[in-house]
Structure 1
Amino acid sequence: MQTLIIYCFGAFLGVIISWLFKTDNMLLTAAQFSIFISFLYTFMGRLIPAVRESLIQMVPAIFPFPKFIVYATGMIELLIAIGIFFPSTQSIASIAGILICIVLFPANIKAFKQNIHLGTKPPTNIYVRLFVQCLFIASFILIAVFNCCF
């Protein structure tokens, strides 16, 4: 639920910034800021030891080196968050963002099924998490389409 609130805050911030700075497209700016704030938030969670340990537990057992996977996906999330602001990297950042949303979703399923807390917070309801993932993917599609077509 927290990620949904962060996403909405980012979208609101994007609308305000678009309005203040008269950007070309308010919807694009809202999508960029919602992704930026959300992915920065999830990246920063890896810097908190209790959250990092929870994320390591969420990695499905079939994958070796769960600690490395958590660090690597965090760096990818950071690069995606930054990349969506630059026209030359928006498409690749959007594609990477869609892929990471799909690839990381099984970890969310595992956390929900096994009641793995994220630090001290209980796991997000899987249907809420699915909704958030769909919002992320829709935002990435919007960013990619605007980069390609406008």
Structure 2
Amino acid sequence: MIYELDVIDGVCTELERQGYVIVSKKREIRHSGIDIIAKKVDSDMNERFYIEAVGGTSSDPSSSRFGKPFDNSQCKVHVSEQLYACAKILSSPKAAGITSKVGIAFADIEYYRNYIDEIKNTLKQLGIEVLFVNELRKVRYL
């Protein structure tokens, strides 16, 4: 079972491998704001990558779902919530000279893969990147 903070750690490791610097990342269960903000600055671009993440089970020990896999309907809600978060980021004003990317990262489980597969063409049109993270914290892009 992979928790949200594990998904975040896996994504951050992959982004650093790609030359990004992690500006901020969620480090605790209860957190408001964007889960990961990374930047890439080179001679051709000044880019920010905003990513929302969700694990395969609740990370909160006080939750009745703690350690239990999310079911199909919970995963559908999570996908919907992540899409809303991406739409909100895409709708926010952009600073001059900075390009923005948005993404969503999920535990690599069947329910998430199925829901994302149904909307992958739209996600591509919107420029929303999808990352799946397995229990070894390895990242696979859609």
TM-score > 0.5 by shorter chain? no
TM-score, with length taken from structure 2: 0.29
More strand by share: 2
Q: Report which of the two structures shows the higher radius of gyration computed on alpha carbons.
A: 1
More helix by share: 1
